[in-house]
């Protein structure tokens, strides 16, 4: 069976990206089924240092997230690579245009290229203000194939100053009855809530939670059946402990269940797949003339793929990572600054898929040098070069461009 990529709640991913600064890579992985087609099992080679590589050129230092800005106009692109197969692009553009009479037009772009997927999503929304801090909107991915458009409806339950709460329900492939390739046995719906609360001077929190509700499809040619459910969530907190000291905590989670049951005759490709992903970070940030932060990053990643007709080809991944993090910001002029960053720790890595196997406990580390040019307080461009600490090797490079309006 070859499920199509349009089964995804594309609008869910786009609206999630409109919460500026939320971890786009996590959303791409969690809300997107894969490159053009996807079976149950992932079709990429798992890089042994994937999460460490991503952290070094994607996750920004705490002082770049000052105040946890959200739901504003922005351009945000981040890219990096350690090899030709680990290239990552994460981009988002969000723009709101007031139309008058309490109506607003919104345009969202989400682009991602990583080990799971390559895609570009465009969505437009029409919003109507209902009162102080409240609004309702409808949204659609109008550049999708004509019969495969996702349509969303939602509301701003709160939007006052820097605080906001947004909820949304998406009808995925709303017009999919036109398809000649498959039929939904259970219609796909997606739901999401996201928001930000608090005072940057004391304590501020930003969060999101979303889910692809259980759905099932049947291929009209060979009677293959594909079913899936998925929940994702993330939260970031800045808690000021003293005048210059801030405790930064963040958390990301995903749980996914997928089932591929081909029609008659039974196939060895029939599979049940489960994925659990958890990542937590805590940093103590000294917001001084020379800002610095020290902390710890923990990742837990489990995958199980059970081949019903061929147990010898079962997939098993168990990955546990603990890294120490040290970052500092050194200003070299009015607009130029340098940000050396060090990451080092232990990884427990167990993997097998019927072809390859490994069971290792090892040290991994990376030293990254960031060169940042600030065009303005809300616009910057950063170039990143890194070196491996666990072996003499180039650790990759990247770039980050951020602008908020």
End-to-end CA distance of the chain: 45
User: How many residues make up the chain in this entry?
Assistant: 405
Burial of residue 87 (number of CB atoms within 10 Å: 0-12, 13-18, 19+): middle
Please report, in tens digits, the pLDDT of each residue of the chain (405 residues total): 333 333 333 333 333 333 333 333 333 333 433 323 444 455 444 555 667 776 776 788 899 888 887 778 888 888 777 654 566 777 888 899 999 999 999 988 877 765 555 667 788 899 999 988 899 999 887 776 655 677 889 999 988 888 989 998 888 777 656 566 777 888 888 888 889 999 989 999 999 888 888 888 887 777 788 888 888 888 999 999 999 999 999 998 888 888 888 776 655 567 888 989 899 999 999 999 999 999 999 999 898 888 877 888 888 889 899 999 999 999 999 999 999 999 999 999 898 887 888 898 999 888 999 999 999 888 899 998 888 888 888 777 888 888 887
pLDDT for position 386: 86
Helix (H, G, I), strand (E, B) or coil at 305: strand
Q: Which residue has the tokens 């909107």?
A: 137
Residue 364 contacts residue 325 (beta carbons within 8 Å): no
* DSSP secondary structure letter of residue 187: -
C-alpha to C-alpha distance for 149 and 71, rounded to whole angstroms: 24
The closest alpha carbon to 65, from 245, 205, 253, 233, belongs to: 205
C-alpha to C-alpha distance for 137 and 142, rounded to whole angstroms: 15
Burial of residue 374 (number of CB atoms within 10 Å: 0-12, 13-18, 19+): middle
Burial of residue 72 (number of CB atoms within 10 Å: 0-12, 13-18, 19+): middle
Whether the link from the prior residue into 265 is cis, omega within 30° of 0, is: yes
pLDDT for position 101: 92
How many C-beta neighbours within 10 Å does residue 177 have? 10
pLDDT for position 82: 60
The kind and range of the H/E element at 26 are helix 24-31
Residue 15 contacts residue 31 (beta carbons within 8 Å): no
Domains of the chain: 5-404 (2.40.160)
pLDDT for position 65: 86
């Amino acid at each position: 069976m070859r499920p199509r990529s349009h089964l995804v709640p594309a609008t869910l991913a786009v609206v999630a990206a409109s919460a500026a600064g939320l971890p786009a890579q996590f959303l791409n992985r969690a809300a997107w089924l894969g490159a053009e087609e996807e079976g149950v099992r992932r079709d990429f080679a798992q890089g042994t240092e994937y999460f460490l590589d991503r952290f070094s050129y994607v996750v920004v230092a705490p002082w770049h997230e000052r105040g946890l800005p959200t739901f504003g106009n922005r351009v945000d692109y981040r890219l990096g690579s350690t090899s030709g197969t680990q290239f990552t692009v994460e981009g988002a553009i969000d723009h709101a245009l007031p139309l008058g009479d309490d109506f607003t037009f919104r345009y969202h772009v989400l682009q991602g290229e990583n080990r799971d997927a390559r895609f570009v999503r465009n969505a437009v929304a029409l919003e109507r203000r209902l009162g102080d801090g409240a609004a309702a909107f409808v949204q659609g991915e109008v550049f999708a194939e004509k019969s495969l458009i996702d349509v969303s409806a939602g509301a701003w339950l709160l939007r006052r100053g820097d605080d906001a709460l947004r909820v949304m329900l998406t009808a995925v492939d709303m017009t999919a009855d036109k398809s000649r390739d498959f039929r939904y046995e259970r219609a796909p719906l997606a739901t999401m809530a996201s928001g930000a609360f608090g005072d940057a001077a004391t304590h501020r929190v930003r969060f999101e939670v979303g889910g692809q509700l259980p759905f099932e499809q049947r291929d009209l040619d060979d009677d293959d059946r594909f079913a899936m459910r998925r929940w994702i969530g993330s939260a970031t907190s800045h808690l000021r402990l003293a005048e210059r000291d801030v405790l930064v905590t963040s958390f990301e989670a995903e749980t996914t269940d997928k089932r591929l049951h081909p029609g008659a005759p039974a196939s060895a490709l029939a599979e049940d797949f489960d994925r659990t992903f958890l990542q937590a970070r805590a940093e103590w940030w000294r917001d001084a003339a020379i800002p610095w932060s020290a902390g710890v990053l923990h990742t837990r990643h489990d995958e199980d793929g059970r081949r019903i007709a061929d147990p010898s080809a079962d997939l098993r991944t168990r990955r546990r990572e603990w890294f120490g993090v040290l970052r500092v910001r050194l200003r070299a002029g009015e607009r130029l600054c340098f940000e050396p960053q060090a990451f080092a720790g232990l990884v427990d890595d167990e993997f097998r898929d019927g072809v390859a196997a490994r069971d290792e406990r090892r040290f991994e580390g990376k030293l990254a040098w960031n060169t940042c040019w600030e065009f303005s307080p809300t616009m910057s461009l950063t170039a990143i070069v890194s070196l491996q600490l666990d072996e003499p090797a180039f650790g990759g490079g990247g770039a980050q461009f951020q602008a908020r309006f």
